[in-house]
Structure 1
Amino acid sequence: MQTLGPLRPRFPELLKRPWLIKPFSLRAFSSIPPSDYSNQSRGGLPRFFSETLPSSKGGVIRVQGDEFWHITKVLRLKTDDRVELFNGKGGLVEGFIQNIDGTAIDFVALEDPKQVLPQTPQWHVFAAFGSLKGGRADWLVEKCTELGASSVTPLLTERSSAISDNRVERLQRVMLAASKQCQRLHEMKLNHPMKIDKLVPLVAKSKLSFIAIAEATPLVSALTSAIKEPSGLIIVGPEGDFSEKEVNMIKQAGATTVGLGSHRLRVETATIAILATLMLWSDSQKITNP
């Protein structure tokens, strides 16, 4: 994908219609607080990913690859249809399809691109899901994306010791598809697999870290005495749980052990239960402590 620079639109009347006129910005990327752009996820135009966005109103870029296929073959969009592009880093721009050829579309910006600031809270998930089968790892990554996790890191433990490169590539595709579906503007980062000894220093530096352990203090009870932090670490073990040595290493680094009820949960269930609870807890703090 590359920026082709200013152009003479094939359909210049589109840029002149009153319902398309946007307030002029002196900055190519105007910053918008999350609270002022909260309706960005409430439907609207079809949205597609592009690492490169036009630098200003009237700019054009070519969209190729998987997104071209999605635009033309799945949604069957046509010339002059209006769409949005986002870059996964908060950038968003509205425009229209100027041209479609055999391998790409030309996208014309109808406005200067916006830059939406990151939202809080920021929770980072560390889960030993490398050995999950039957699409369960896909489901975990998809739901973490939708719920707003900042990052997901596959943990390599004594009982979950590998994850293939092909699987990581698939999970990245799942993550992108989920970002588009839930209209998330800031991409969730999928980190390289990590061993426990590399996790321990991160726990030590974090003000708030939770590790899921059977028969520990219920998560909701633990939150009543937890410091008020909008970010932290979520740590979930493999199907056979962490070894005693691994649990002790993580606890000694400063993580709080939390329980999730009397039933034994799958890795993906435990991960989503903790993440959903902490996202709601963090949101409630924003309301009571603006």
Structure 2
Amino acid sequence: MHIFYTPDLTISEQSYQLNEEESKHCSRVLRLKKGDRINLVNGSGGFFLAEITDDNPKKTALSIISKEDGFKKSDHYLHIAVAPTKNIDRIEWFLEKATEIGIQEISPIICERSERKDVKVDRLEKIMVSAMKQSLKAYLPKLNKALPFKDFIKQNASAEHKFIAHCLPNQKEELANNFKKNSHYLILIGPEGDFSEKEIEIALENGFLPITLGESRLRTETAALQACFEVNYLNR
């Protein structure tokens, strides 16, 4: 069944009207007609079954048949802070796959060795919306604006379970060895050239635990996805 993203739809509404863009997609691209049924997700846990009552290509009207709040809500909260790659396609790939697997928040962080200093959030959010619908989820991950590394650490020093994945030969633990199920996790993933020694020092001083994501040397987006997978796997 076709899924539409309707961020302004509340769980209390009995009827709804698609915006012009979604109406056109519904009636002219998908050729759905009056009486056809579709699913709606609002990105904040609402999952709806609706029936088309008017297939107007500019303002398709719907009747809400059933609704569920907190649809497939996760018992844990994963926040990954990752340095944006020079090739933005690689971060787009990470966001798509992480949304499908399960992630609640992403923060681009600008590090000393970052090759990219700016991130256009609007395009990235569209990719996440598409991935949310593809994976039958009702929660859209929160995507924050890019922040310098030090500013991000300062703002998130009080996070519950904090980890930093880096490549220096310092003593590091497996994530599973310092893991508590159904908690709030924050994991830092650095740029291709890794975090600087100073950045690692700042993170450790603020209570971040150093972890390893395996013996392979991973690209930034692969490391971030590996961290996402591990957290979801350990919370099964």
**1:145 and 2:99 are equivalent in the alignment:** yes
Tell me, yes or no, if the aligned pair for 1:157 and 1:238 is still in contact at 8 Å: yes
**Structure 1 equivalent of residue 111 of structure 2:** 157
The CA deviation string for residues 17-50 of structure 1, in whole angstroms up to 9 with x for no partner, is xxxxxxxxxxxxxxxxxxxxxxxxxxxx322111
Aligned counterpart in structure 1 of residue 203 of structure 2, from 235, 250, 262: 250
TM superposition shift of 1:229: 5.4
Q: Unaligned stretches of 5+ in structure 1?
A: 1-44, 284-290
Greater relative contact order structure (CA < 8 Å, 6+ sep): 2
Which whole-Å CA distance do the structure 2 matches of 1:262 and 1:191 have between them? 30
TM superposition shift of 1:95: 1.5
Tell me, yes or no, if the aligned pair for 2:85 and 2:220 is still in contact at 8 Å: no
Amino acid aligned to 1:159: R
**Structure 2 equivalent of residue 49 of structure 1:** 5
**Structure 2 equivalent of residue 287 of structure 1:** none
> 1:265 aligns to what SS in structure 2?
coil
Q: How many residues are aligned here?
A: 233
Match runs of 1:184-195 below 5 Å? 184-195=137-148
Which whole-Å CA distance do the structure 2 matches of 1:121 and 1:278 have between them? 9
TM superposition shift of 1:51: 2.3
Tell me, yes or no, if the aligned pair for 1:96 and 1:109 is still in contact at 8 Å: yes
TM superposition shift of 1:62: 1.3
Which whole-Å CA distance do the structure 2 matches of 1:202 and 1:282 have between them? 26
Amino acid aligned to 2:53: Q
**Structure 2 equivalent of residue 28 of structure 1:** none
**Structure 2 equivalent of residue 106 of structure 1:** 61
Which of the pair has more CA radius of gyration?
1
Tell me, yes or no, if the aligned pair for 1:203 and 1:253 is still in contact at 8 Å: no
**1:199 and 2:155 are equivalent in the alignment:** no
Which whole-Å CA distance do the structure 2 matches of 1:279 and 1:62 have between them? 35
Which whole-Å CA distance do the structure 1 matches of 2:184 and 2:151 have between them? 19
Which whole-Å CA distance do the structure 1 matches of 2:28 and 2:75 have between them? 36
Q: What percentage of aligned pairs have identical amino acids?
A: 29
Aligned counterpart in structure 2 of residue 91 of structure 1, from 41, 46, 56: 46
Tell me, yes or no, if the aligned pair for 2:85 and 2:192 is still in contact at 8 Å: no
Q: TM-score, normalised by structure 1?
A: 0.73
Q: Unaligned stretches of 5+ in structure 2?
A: none
| Distance change (3 Å), C-alpha of 1:187 and 1:222 | closer
Match runs of 1:267-282 below 5 Å? 267-282=220-235
